[in-house]
Amino acid sequence: REGHQGTQLFGEALLAFGGHHYQVVGASVAQLTWHQARLDAGERCYGGTAGHLVYIGSDEENAFVVDAVKALPAGRLPAGLATHAWIGATDMRAEGRFEWVGGRHTGEVFYDTTLGETVDERTVTYAHWSEGEPNDASGGEDCVQLMVGTGTLSSFWSDENCYKPNEFFIVEFDK
């Protein structure tokens, strides 16, 4: 993105996986909506590349992101280690059609609730929904969060109200 020419990283430590770089941003006392997290991610820069909320394309990448959150110092995690992190997925443009926002996967639909499966004409896509998700409970659950903790829901995704504050979000910097 033009204007993101910096080479210095602001804030959290940088982590590398699969040729991309990531930041886990937040703390147990931080509370950001999905919209705030998306704006913050887009203002971050590393090596001249603008950040975006993370795209997760495999079990390995999902596990890497979960482990990155779990590895944070105890003072940054909520008691009991159960927390949530915003990722770069939403169905705001078309209810039930989840797509990635930010980076080279912008607009890529990866899950369609009318089909009940991952969908993409060009490639095999990835989703890691918790059982019963996405469910648009109470209407208005249009953004995707990653659940992180010690229980059985850890590493799974759920749709959530975009204005619900979460403790963390994950920024990705493409190659």
pLDDT tens figures, 17-28: 999 999 999 988
Specify the DSSP element, H or E, that contains 98.
strand 97-100
Give the amino acid at 116.
G
| Res 117: pLDDT | 62
> Could you tell me the two tokens for 49?
């590349």
Q: What is the pLDDT of residue 2?
A: 47
- The token pair that represents 82 in the structure block: 């159960």
Determine the Cα–Cα distance for residues 39 and 41; give it in Å rounded to an integer: 5
Which residues, including other chains, have CB under 8 Å from residue 117's CB and lie 6 or more apart?
A: 111
Query: Distance (Å, rounded) from C-alpha 122 to C-alpha 12?
Result: 35
Quick: pLDDT tens for 107-152: 999 998 887 666 655 455 899 999 999 999 988 999 999 999 888 9
Query: What mean pLDDT do residues 49-62 have?
Result: 96
Residues 91, 22: Cα–Cα separation, whole Å: 23
Higher-pLDDT residue of 61 and 72 is 61
Q: CA–CA distance from 22 to each of 9, 25, 133, 145 (Å)?
A: 11, 10, 26, 16
Average of per-residue pLDDT across 42-47: 92
Decide if pLDDT at 13 tops 50.
Answer: yes
DSSP H helices in the chain? 34-43, 59-70
pLDDT of residue 25: 94
Q: What is the pTM of this model?
A: 0.90
